[in-house]
Amino acid sequence: MGPFWTFILLYPEIFLAIICFFWFSLFRLIRQRQKSNLPVNWPVFGMLPFLVQNLHYIHDKVADVLREAGCTFMVSGPWFLNMNFLITCDPATVNHCFNANFKNYPKGSEFAEMFDILGDGLLVADSESWEYQRRMAMYIFAARTFRSFAMSTIARKTGSVLLPYLDHMAKFGSEVELEGVFMRFSLDVTYSTVFAADLDCLSVSSPIPVFGQATKEAEEAVLFRHVIPPSVWKLLRLLNVGTEKKLTNAKVVIDQFIYEEIAKRKAQASDGLQGDILSMYMKWSIHESAHKQKDERFLRDTAVGFIFAGKDLIAVTLTWFFYMMCKHPHVEARILQDIKGLQSSTWPGDLHVFEWDTLRSAIYLQAALLETLRLFPATPFEEKEALVDDVLPNGTKVSRNTRIIFSLYAMGRIEGIWGKDCMEFKPERWVSKSGRLRHEPSYKFLSFNTGPRSCLGKELSLSNMKIIVASIIHNFKVELVEGHEVMPQSSVILHTQNGMMLLPWLLGFVVKYPEIMASTACFLLLFCRFRRRSKRIPTNWPVVGALPAIVANAGRVHDWVTEFLRAAAMSHVVEGPWGSPGDVLITADPANVAHMFTANFGNYPKGEEFAAMFDVLGGGIFNADGESWSFQRRKAHALLSDARFRAAVAASTSRKLGGGLVPLLDGVAASGAAVDLQDVFMRLTFDLTAMFVFGVDPGCLAADFPTVPFAAAMDDAEEVLFYRHVAPVPWLRLQSYLKIGHYKKMAKAREVLDASIAELIALRRERKAADANATGDADLLTAYLACQDEIGMDGAAFDAFLRDTTLNLMVAGRDTTSSALTWFFWLLSNHPGVEARILAELRAHPPSPTGAELKRLVYLHAALSESLRLYPPVPFEHKAAARPDTLPSGAAVGPTRRVIVSLYSMGRMEAVWGKGCEEFRPERWLTPAGRFRHERSCKFAAFNVGPRTCLGRDLAFAQMKAVVAAVVPRFRVAAAAAPPRPKLSIILHMRDGLKVKVHRRQED
């Protein structure tokens, strides 16, 4: 027995006294802190609970803490992690670290590693490298060529892109997510300033460029590195999962774009270079003896640094500026007065753009911008690390390698720095009594940094923002959408959490077009009611992404997706928790479907990720790509089109219905017992598909409802496949490593499937060997065995091919048809008018219709199509882009973003199917002449779209019609009226089956 337990046994009263003292002290500490903003330093966990609890509004909470703690506070992380840091907003400390003792606070290796996306550029460099790069940057920013190019670029982009976009939105009374507009616009402007090339980010369709998406994901990954222990994100980087995988993929996209621009520029002659930043650096290299700047990696790091520095500052500042204008209309009025009479250029549409030199006299405009930056700095915090031990001006001792975080956001909200009105938006604080601009020390106003690292682009950024603001305010009046809440986002950049929804109004529009204004007034009132839809759209939270919404709606996932896609214009990005494979774009937009499945088919293969997720299907046609898929599809098409096979299918179906399904239902009707019709149809289609594929009737459909291991294994495998779509990848890998949970379930199912198929293949080979001259067998396995030479395989490879091919055919034939029939009969039970019309159509034909007669059952075909529209057997399709792409809806897709097409939702979109989209109405498929109306497959995708369209479509319709023709004239099926709940599976089965009572027609 150890000394610890000996002590407890010998002195229990002392041990209990220590425990009581510990908890009493802890309780008293909590009580003391209840009225304080300062975080509790918990045993073991430090202040980590405080950081996690306040992550969504961390900037305001930090300001509260620093306000109470005297501008400086030490944050303690868990004792077992290196997460302690000093946080401050003390101007004296800022001046000490950024100016007086500048050399003791370099960026450091840890900062460079955390921001490795920036390479060795100016923003992360130290010592000689930083001095050299800053000298170059100073030369370029001071050059008249560059300044003239930059100013003309912003004026041209404002007049030709930004103002026309807002003009379009104003004329249609559309909402505008202004931060998104500014982000795309500033990215476009910054890209043009750096490379003299256009990304064309901003248009009426508001596409999100792949390059812009990559920079956004890089920023999110860097923020993640700030809030978790270094050991954790470094492990994620080593495993290439979660946000680190996103960052890696983002780097690939960013590098591809930048290196392409560098290559284009190097191909030009030196005298053909323009005034953009890349050209200026390359011109400088002509006069330098050093070769470093000629290195493409150096040019890449320089360009990335300028892009990240430029795009966010302007976009974020302008977003918060216009938010302030909406809240303080008197400030906007004074700015309008400030720019009144200043010279501007006129662009098409009678839009006016101000020139940068004419705005020098707009003092109040610049004051309003500075006041916005004081309260909402684009970069809300700066970070430093001490090289050696130091003592700060307030007496705080700083040890070597101590991280110091400077909260610029809190600094603007401290009464001791800015006075009692520090929380108020007052541009007047920046204007002297004589009307001149009042300058504040940079260590007090840190938005453009301070000391040797002061931002070289300060004047350029302010000039750009003045041009944009003056031009927008002169041409438009913007209003904040009622009820839209604007809050800072937890990020390395001070974005808003939910964007900023505004309505831009064209000044003078009411006067010029009163009749249009009057006619749209009613529309706008209705629109204001309709636009309050954000509550339905899932929130992508930090750390957990949209997981809370997914979990909350797990029991109704298909209807939930439908609801938020209606509110999100049929497309929405759902982010998974950290550690998941990446973002998922969920869409029900037919234009996106046509683009991915047809127009740009080659860019959306099944891919390795899909094949890994559906590994149970092996190399079959569902997983295959390229030549393998082309060959398998050609072969399957030839076999399914064979007249002998189609005749055998018709005969087998007729026998199974007459000898199996009808007697079973007749017995159920006679007993008066309830039966699970879904189970009946799954057994029926399993037997039929096995007969078509293997030439064997497994006897799954029998009065005693036997358990068939093959069918049960298919059910288990499908459940696991759905689980793989929603579970985080690290959790799946852990299950795989430990061989537990769903991994174990799939392994057992796969073992049964392999054994069952191997047995059926062996049986077929034995029959073939016993009667080599037999020609009666028309099943698909026999056909594949007969063309082994054409397939070009033998031995184990051919056996694997047969296994994968037959399993794919079994999945395609059994599940989709049984699901479609189950939902169809539930709909039929609740729509007696439709049932009566189908019954009349069937009674007008022979009792057992032939294939030709089945084709003439037009209303039945329409009813089946309508059922498939509302309840597609495969409720979603999964796609991934091989190369970055932009969909017709404007959404960007790339290596880190998968696409899920919700076929279930598509059938319920009013924009696709009209106002009665949720009604079961077969008549929508009929022309006035009574003929069947065909819809585009991108709109009705139950049988897939484009080159991968289902080869068995006609066969499936014939089979379903034959089942209906055998059942409806003989029996009336009575099901509950309440809609059954869909099962969480890759196939749209009913979760609890379909319990029905069966009645003979002659008894009605």
Known binding-site residues for heme equal 950
User: Please, are residues 693 and 809 in contact by the beta-carbon 8 Å criterion?
Assistant: yes
Torsion-angle region of 46 (φ positive above 0: left; ψ -120 to 50: alpha; else: beta): left
Secondary structure of residue 601 in the 3-state scheme: helix
The residue type at 387: L
CB of 456 closer than 8 Å to CB of 448: no
- Residue 282, helix vs strand vs coil: helix
How far is C-alpha 858 from the geometric centre of its chain's CA atoms?
41
- DSSP secondary structure, 49-109, as one string: HHHHHTGGGHHHHHHHHHHHHTSEEEE---TTS---EEEE--HHHHHIIIIITGGGS--HH
CA dist 425 and 427 (Å) reads: 7
Decide: helix, strand or coil at residue 148: helix
Q: At what angle do helices 662-671 and 953-967 cross, to 10 degrees?
A: 40
Bridge-based pairing of strands 85-88 and 674-676 is unpaired
Whole-angstrom Cα distance, residue 528 to residue 526?
5
Q: Using N-to-C axis directions, what is the helix angle for 953-967 and 858-870, rounded to 10°?
A: 110
Can you tell me the distance from the alpha carbon of 464 to that of 995, in angstroms, rounded to the nearest whole number? 68
The dihedral of CA 526, 529, 531, 533: what is its sign?
Answer: negative
Q: Is beta strand 390-391 parallel, antiparallel or unpaired with respect to 397-398?
A: antiparallel
Nearest 10 degrees: CA dihedral of 98, 100, 103, 107?
-10
The CA distances from residue 196 to 144, 146, 203, 215, 519, in Å, are 16, 11, 19, 19, 44
Contact (CB, 8 A) for 446 and 414: no
- φ and ψ at residue 876, rounded to 5 degrees: -150, 155
Instruction: Check residue 506 and report its DSSP letter.
Output: E
Both tokens of 783, joined, read 């056909």
What residue numbers does the annotated binding site cover? 950
Query: The dihedral of CA 835, 841, 845, 848: what is its sign?
Result: negative
DSSP 476-535: EEEEEPTT----B-SSSS--BSS--EEEEEETTHHHH-HHHHHHHHHHHHHHHHHT--GG
Query: One-letter amino acid identity for 638?
Result: A
CA dist 205 and 209 (Å) reads 12
